[in-house]
Amino acid sequence: MSPNNSKIRVGITCGDPNGIGLEALADALSDDRTMAHIVPIVYAPRELAVKAFDNVPWGEVEDESAAASGQINLVSFEAEEFEHKPGEASQRAGAVAMESLQRAVAQLAKTNVDVLVTAPINKDTIRSAGFNFPGHTEYLASEAGVEDVLMLLCCDGLRIGVATGHVALKEVSTELTSAKIVTKLKLMHESLVRDFGIPSPRIAVLGLNPHAGDNGMMGDEEKRVLAPALTTATKQGIQAMGPYAADGFFGSGASRQFDGVLAMYHDQGLAPFKALSFGRGVNFTAGLPVVRTSPDHGTGFDIAGQGTANGASFREAIRMACDIRTHRLAHREYAGSPLEITPPKPEYKSRRSLSASALACACRTSISSLP
């Protein structure tokens, strides 16, 4: 947090500069209620800020230590040979998006910002600029040095994780293993407890095949891969249930009975999620040692530069990043200082001969220290 106040410092990337990222951010921060609780720090070329932030207070700062509350704080960098053309995909735009991300992540690693919110990128243009990752999720996992993370889409009480992420549909069946599903379930369980404050989460697992395989008639992955994974997860104390047929799971309202849902592949999870919550959803990367969120929409090339970008999802991404950080700090405090339970006195060990009053004493827990 800022040395001058308790507001959370939110590092924000510009995303693809020819998209709607900074326009959506400006709309999100035009709400004073959002600005009141954070110190937003944006990494982008100055010319983008001049165009995008004309209706919100902003200022250019040399570094994060000079960031002030009540305004968007711009940490600018030069964008050589880049020409701002809203709605146009270009290699130079990809290079700007990559540099913004790299700068923000570097400051997150140094704890100069508390959380990270990433604006949408165009995967083709950023890859052409030398970005060798399928997306933000994989890049952040590499930078953090963790083997696995979970892309978790969130809106209100709906949280959908994806087992196989950014892979081609034809490769999903090969990618799915019992070990992978157990790993993803563990990541989701731990995140729901630590990041969302749910002490005993229930997780639904969707089947891979139509009708969850119909008892092997339309594929055997449910029996061969998912069933053993669910058994293993249950033995590890994870409340994972399924596999459920994906086609009617959301329409029937079954998803509302669970704290999280694990889909087997990208579109199986994201298609219903965006149908139910588009414009309000948040993409959260679970399993990282840092907090990163993103709005659920793309670059919006078709409306870029028109001043019509809606900041609702960006606003929710900022709010959720702050909430998750708060939950993590609370969880760390409680997990690091568990309540000490005083063992019962020796005379209460045998309950068969206890009187009613003594039994009450034996059942009473003595807390020797309170948080």
Does residue 24 contact residue 295 with C-beta atoms inside 8 Å?
yes
**What is the tens place of the pLDDT at every residue in 227-266?**
999 999 999 999 999 999 999 999 999 999 999 999 999 9
* Reported confidence tier of residue 369, pLDDT bands at 50, 70, 90: very low
pLDDT at 131: 95
* Reported confidence tier of residue 2, pLDDT bands at 50, 70, 90: very low
Arithmetic mean of pLDDT, 88-92: 95
Whether residue 273 has pLDDT greater than 90? yes
pLDDT at 352: 36
Q: What crossing angle do the helices spanning 312-336 and 178-194 adopt, rounded to 10°?
A: 90
Residue 331's alpha-carbon distances to 61, 132, 157, 183, 195, in angstroms, are 34, 34, 20, 21, 8
pLDDT at 212: 87
Does residue 185 contact residue 231 with C-beta atoms inside 8 Å?
no
* Reported confidence tier of residue 80, pLDDT bands at 50, 70, 90: confident
CATH of 149-286, one of 3.40.50.740, 1.25.10.10, 3.30.565.10, 3.40.718.10: 3.40.718.10
Arithmetic mean of pLDDT, 83-91: 94
Name which of 91, 88, 1, 98 is nearest 45 in CA terms: 98
Question: What residues does each domain of the chain span?
Answer: 1-146+288-338, 149-286, 341-371
Distance CA 46, CA 29 (A): 18
**What is the tens place of the pLDDT at every residue in 214-229?**
888 888 999 999 999 9
User: Same CATH topology for 1-146+288-338 and 149-286?
Assistant: yes
Q: What percent of the chain has pLDDT over 70?
A: 89
pLDDT at 366: 29
* Reported confidence tier of residue 165, pLDDT bands at 50, 70, 90: confident
Does residue 230 contact residue 241 with C-beta atoms inside 8 Å?
yes
**Record: fold of 1-146+288-338:** Isopropylmalate Dehydrogenase (3.40.718)
pTM exceeds cut of 0.95:
no
Arithmetic mean of pLDDT, 81-91: 93
